[in-house]
C-alpha cells in the first residue's frame, strides 16, 4: 500500500488559533515488540491531525503542531518480526513529531482505540494473484507420430520390430466448471517382417482409443489435469502367407484394454514458448488375442513430453513412449510427435 493510507482526525478542537494555545508534548515513543503496538505518550492537549503513510517497507507517522523535546532519536528493534528500527524526530516543516518505522517487509498499520495515541504494526498480508483457470489448450488436437515399434512374445520366443511406424489421430477435450474430459482416437499402420519365415510380412493396422474424465486446475503457475478413464488398443493383422504352424505374429486380431489414470502438466516458459507433458498409467491391461494362451498380468505406461508455441498449444513438438509389459509380453512404441490444435474461439 503506497501513498497516504489515511488521515486520522483525532478531535481536540478546531484548527487555527487553537493550535497556538495548547500543543501536545510527546515523550519517547514506546514499541512493544511482543504485541507490535506502538504508543506515542504525550501530555497536554490531544493531538489534532495525525497522518499515516506506508510506502514500501516503511511506515511514516506525522503529528503536526506538536512538541518533541528530543532533536532525533534512533532505536534498533531486535525482537519484532515486523519492525527492525524506529526513528523519531522533531520536523520543523510540520512543526511537530515525525516518526519512521523501518520494517522487515511491507507493513500494515491500524490505529488502536482508547485515550492513548497508539497503533498496531504488523506485516502486511500477502495478496496472492488470482489463479487463472486451467488452460488445456484448443479443444481439438490433430497429431502425427513417426517412430519405431518392437514386440516380444516370450512363450514362442518371437521378437519383431520396425522403424517405419506412422500414426495419425485426433483428441477432443471438453471442459466446463473445472471438469475436463479428453477423448482420443488414433490409427497407425506399419509392416513387420516375420522373424521365423523368410519373406513373410505382416501388415498391421492399430486403433488406439481413450475416454477419460477428471479435474482441471492451476497450482504454483502450472496448469494441471488429473483424469481417470478407459483405454483400448485394437490391432488387425494381415499376413502375406499362412504357414502350417503359425506363430504369434500371425494372429489376426489383438485387443488390449483396461482402466487408465492420466496426469497432464502444462507450464509457460518464456514468451509464447511453453512445455507440457501427458502421462498415462494402466494398472491392469486385459488381452484378447485370437488363438493364443493367456498373457497373465499386463500393465502399460505412456508418456508424451512436448514443447509448444502459444498458450493454447496451437503447435507442439514432442516425443512419445508407449510401453505395454508383462511376464510373457513386451511391446514398445516410440517416436517424434507433431500436434496442431484448432477449433478455439
Q: Is there a domain that residue 276 lies in?
A: yes
pLDDT over 50 at 2, yes or no: no
Identify whether residues 199 and 317 lie together within a single domain: yes
pLDDT in the model for residue 151? 93
Domain residue limits at 64: 4-123
Nearest to residue 204, comparing CAs of 217, 194, 218?
194
pLDDT in the model for residue 24? 86
The CATH number linked to 71 is 2.60.40.3470
Confidence of residue 127 (pLDDT cuts 50, 70, 90): low
Strand partners, 145: 167, 337
Strand partners, 275: 267, 307
Q: Give the pLDDT confidence of 30-47 residue by residue, as tens digits.
A: 888 888 888 888 888 888
The CATH number linked to 229 is 2.40.128.100
Report DSSP state, residue 293.
-
pLDDT in the model for residue 49? 78
pLDDT in the model for residue 5? 39
Confidence of residue 131 (pLDDT cuts 50, 70, 90): very low
pLDDT in the model for residue 187? 96
Confidence of residue 261 (pLDDT cuts 50, 70, 90): very high
Identify whether residues 171 and 299 lie together within a single domain: yes
Average pLDDT of the residues in 135-152: 84
pLDDT in the model for residue 263? 96
Q: Is there a domain that residue 90 lies in?
A: yes
Could you give the CA distance from residue 200 to residue 209 in angstroms, rounded to a whole number? Answer: 29
Could you give the CA distance from residue 320 to residue 182 in angstroms, rounded to a whole number? Answer: 18
Average pLDDT of the residues in 16-30: 69
Question: Of 123, 156, 187, which residue is a domain's last?
Answer: 123
pLDDT in the model for residue 339? 93
pLDDT over 70 at 3, yes or no: no
Count of domains forming the chain: 2
**Burial class of residue 326 (count of CB atoms within 10 Å of its CB; 0-12, 13-18, 19+):** middle
- 311: alpha, beta or left? (left if phi > 0; alpha if psi -120 to 50): alpha
End-to-end CA distance of the chain: 38
Q: Give the pLDDT confidence of 245-257 residue by residue, as tens digits.
A: 888 888 899 999 9
Nearest to residue 36, comparing CAs of 120, 116, 111?
120
Amino acid at each position: 500500500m503506497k501513498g497516504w493510507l489515511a488521515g486520522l482526525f483525532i478531535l481536540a478542537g478546531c484548527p487555527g488559533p487553537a493550535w497556538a494555545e495548547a500543543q501536545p508534548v510527546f515523550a519517547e515513543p514506546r514499541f512493544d515488540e511482543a504485541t507490535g503496538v506502538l504508543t506515542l505518550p504525550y501530555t497536554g492537549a490531544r493531538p489534532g491531525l495525525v497522518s499515516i503513510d506506508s510506502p514500501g517497507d516503511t511506515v511514516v507517522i506525522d503529528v503536526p503542531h506538536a512538541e518533541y523535546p528530543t532533536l532525533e532519536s534512533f532505536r534498533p528493534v531486535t525482537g519484532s518480526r515486523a519492525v527492525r528500527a524506529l526513528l523519531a524526530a522533531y520536523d520543523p516543516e510540520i512543526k511537530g513529531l515525525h516518526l519512521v518505522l523501518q520494517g522487515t517487509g511491507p507493513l500494515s498499520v491500524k490505529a488502536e482505540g482508547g485515550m492513548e495515541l497508539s497503533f498496531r504494526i504488523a506485516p502486511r498480508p500477502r495478496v496472492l494473484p488470482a489463479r487463472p483457470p486451467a488452460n488445456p489448450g484448443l479443444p481439438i488436437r490433430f497429431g502425427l507420430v513417426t517412430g519405431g515399434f518392437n514386440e516380444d512374445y516370450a512363450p514362442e520366443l518371437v521378437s519383431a520390430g520396425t522403424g517405419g511406424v506412422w500414426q495419425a489421430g485426433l483428441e477432443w477435450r471438453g471442459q466446463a466448471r473445472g471438469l475436463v474430459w479428453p477423448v482420443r482416437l488414433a490409427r497407425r499402420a506399419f509392416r513387420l517382417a516375420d522373424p521365423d519365415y523368410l519373406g513373410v510380412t505382416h501388415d498391421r493396422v492399430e486403433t488406439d482409443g481413450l475416454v477419460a474424465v477428471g479435474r482441471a486446475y492451476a497450482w504454483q503457475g502450472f496448469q494441471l489435469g488429473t483424469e481417470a478413464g478407459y483405454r483400448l488398443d485394437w490391432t488387425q493383422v494381415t499376413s502375406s502367407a499362412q504357414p502350417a504352424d503359425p506363430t504369434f505374429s500371425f494372429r489376426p486380431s489383438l485387443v488390449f484394454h483396461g482402466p487408465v489414470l492420466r496426469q497432464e502438466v502444462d507450464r509457460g516458459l518464456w514468451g509464447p514458448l511453453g512445455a507440457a507433458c501427458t502421462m498415462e498409467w494402466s494398472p491392469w491391461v486385459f488381452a484378447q488375442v485370437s488363438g493364443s494362451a493367456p498373457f497373465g498380468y499386463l500393465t502399460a505406461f505412456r508418456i508424451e513430453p512436448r514443447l509448444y508455441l502459444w498458450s493454447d498449444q496451437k503447435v507442439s513438438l514432442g516425443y512419445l513412449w508407449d510401453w505395454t509389459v508383462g511376464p510373457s509380453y513386451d511391446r514398445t512404441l516410440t517416436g517424434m510427435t507433431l500436434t496442431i490444435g484448432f477449433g478455439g474461439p
